[in-house]
């Protein structure tokens, strides 16, 4: 069985060498043939040079480098597309995903599981974040069409057929957590102790997390649109009842002073609801807009990839690609001069 490790990297120069040593040790210990695909997601800190150094010294390393930062989802997609292994392991470069778990994953995969998922505990995470996460997952699991589990991220082993399934989902807005759940197959989840990031800092800001959360809510269902319909129906019913009551009062007791406050409250309240609903509709339209453009998920600047599944851990890859890579590097040197 061949194993492919897919590693998205964005500004990870500080840990990359250590990461590579650690995972190589683990992979060699399993005595399965393997390859490691490093996907440089447009790093600006010399990550690519570090990868080039690693690739020159280790034939099991393949890499590709994006023309700019396209995001982790795109980086994972690129890695999966080029993975030649019978089992593919997705792993972060920042050593937050313990390399020791690789053998455990392979063991579980050998027992027939198509997705082996490492679930981190929330140890060491501030209480506020923990509560926010729990609320979010409670909410999303009531809404979304797929089930998402708290603490389950992208650290997982995926079998060949599950990878092929994932690659059939070609949507532009990729929400991996949902996609993994959508494809199904036999899955098993095991827990590991959460590891704090050693160097650098997480790319997640509060805003990004919030937007990611919205993505999750919107990517896998159209229930927010339903909510608009329910709201509309409810309000219409209330308005009809209110009108009947007003007419009834006017007929029996004559017209009284109009309620100014009620009027303003109704206008502002309804205006707010309409804005929110328009926003929800706009979100979906925005998604449709991006999907219809059919843009690629990423552009590759350079790589040493052969067609997937050709050489694994073998001799150096085809030379024309190496040449174009060197040319690329020369160009870059020219520009900095
Ligand atoms: N990453 C990436 N592109 C990005 C942001 C992150 O490829 O635009 C990679 C990053 O190098 C790391 C992994 O995705 O290997 C997880 O990123 P990070 O540690 O920032 O996220 P967290 O662990 O906090 O969820
Ligand atoms: Mg991390």
| pLDDT per residue as tens digits for the range 198-223 | 666 666 777 877 887 777 777 777 77
Q: Which atom of ligand 1 is nearest to the CA of 10?
A: 11
The answer, yes or no, to whether any atom of ligand 1 lies below 6 A from the CB of 42, is: no
pLDDT at residue 306, as a whole number: 63
| Ligand 1 neighbour 12 (Cβ under 6 A) | yes
Tell me what pLDDT residue 202 has.
67
Q: Residue 73: CB within 6 Å of ligand 1?
A: no
pLDDT for 197: 67
Residue 212: Cβ-neighbour burial (10 angstroms; 0-12, 13-18, 19+): middle
Pick the more confident residue, 125 or 189: 189
Point out the ligand 1 atom lying closest to the alpha carbon of residue 9: 11
Please tell me if the CB atom of residue 25 comes closer than 6 angstroms to any atom of ligand 1: no
Identify which ligand lies nearest to the alpha carbon of 154: 1
pLDDT class of 35 with cuts at 50, 70, 90: very high
Alpha helices in the chain (DSSP H): 13-30, 47-57, 72-82, 101-110, 127-143, 160-168, 176-183, 206-219, 223-253, 260-293, 319-336
Ligand 1 pocket test: pick from 72, 74, 199 the residue with the most ligand atoms within 8 Å of its Cβ.
Answer: 72
Three-class secondary structure of residue 44 per DSSP: coil
- Which pTM does this prediction carry? 0.74
Q: Which long-range contacts (CB under 8 A, 24 or more apart) does 240-243 make?
A: none
| Pocket flag, ligand 1, residue 38 (CB < 6 Å) | no
- Confidence grade of residue 281 (pLDDT, cut at 50, 70, 90): confident
The verdict on the CB of residue 165 being under 6 Å from ligand 1 is no
């Amino acid at each position: 069985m061949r194993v492919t490790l897919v590693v998205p990297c964005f500004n990870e120069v500080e840990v990359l060498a250590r990461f590579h040593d650690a995972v190589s040790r683990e992979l060699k210990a399993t005595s399965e043939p393997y390859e490691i695909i490093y996907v440089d997601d447009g790093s600006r800190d010399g990550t690519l040079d570090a990868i080039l150094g690693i690739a020159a010294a280790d034939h099991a390393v393949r890499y590709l480098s994006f023309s700019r930062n396209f995001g982790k989802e795109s980086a994972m997609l690129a890695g999966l597309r080029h993975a030649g292994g019978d089992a593919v392991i997705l792993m972060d470069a920042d050593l937050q995903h313990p390399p020791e778990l690789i053998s455990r994953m392979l063991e579980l995969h050998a027992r027939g599981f198509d997705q082996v998922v490492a679930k981190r505990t929330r140890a060491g995470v501030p209480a506020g974040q923990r509560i926010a996460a729990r609320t979010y997952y409670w909410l999303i699991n009531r809404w979304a069409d797929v089930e998402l589990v708290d603490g389950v991220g992208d650290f997982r082993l995926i079998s060949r057929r599950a990878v092929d399934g994932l690659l059939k989902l070609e949507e532009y807005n990729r929400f991996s957590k949902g996609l993994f759940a959508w494809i199904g197959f036999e899955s098993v989840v095991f827990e590991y102790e959460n590891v704090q990031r050693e160097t650098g800092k997480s790319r997640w800001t509060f805003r990004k997390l919030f937007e990611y959360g919205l993505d999750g809510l919107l990517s896998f269902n159209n229930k927010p649109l339903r909510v608009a319909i329910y709201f509309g129906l409810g309000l219409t019913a209330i308005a009809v009842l209110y009108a009947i009551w007003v007419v009834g009062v006017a007929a029996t007791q004559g017209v009284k002073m109009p309620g100014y406050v009620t009027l303003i409250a109704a206008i502002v309240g309804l205006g707010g609801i309409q804005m929110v609903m328009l926003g929800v509709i706009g979100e979906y339209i925005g998604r449709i807009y991006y999907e219809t453009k059919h843009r690629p998920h990423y552009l590759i600047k350079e790589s040493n990839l052969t067609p997937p599944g050709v050489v694994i851990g073998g001799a150096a890859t085809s030379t024309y690609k190496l040449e174009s890579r060197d040319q690329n590097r020369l160009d870059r040197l020219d520009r900095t001069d």
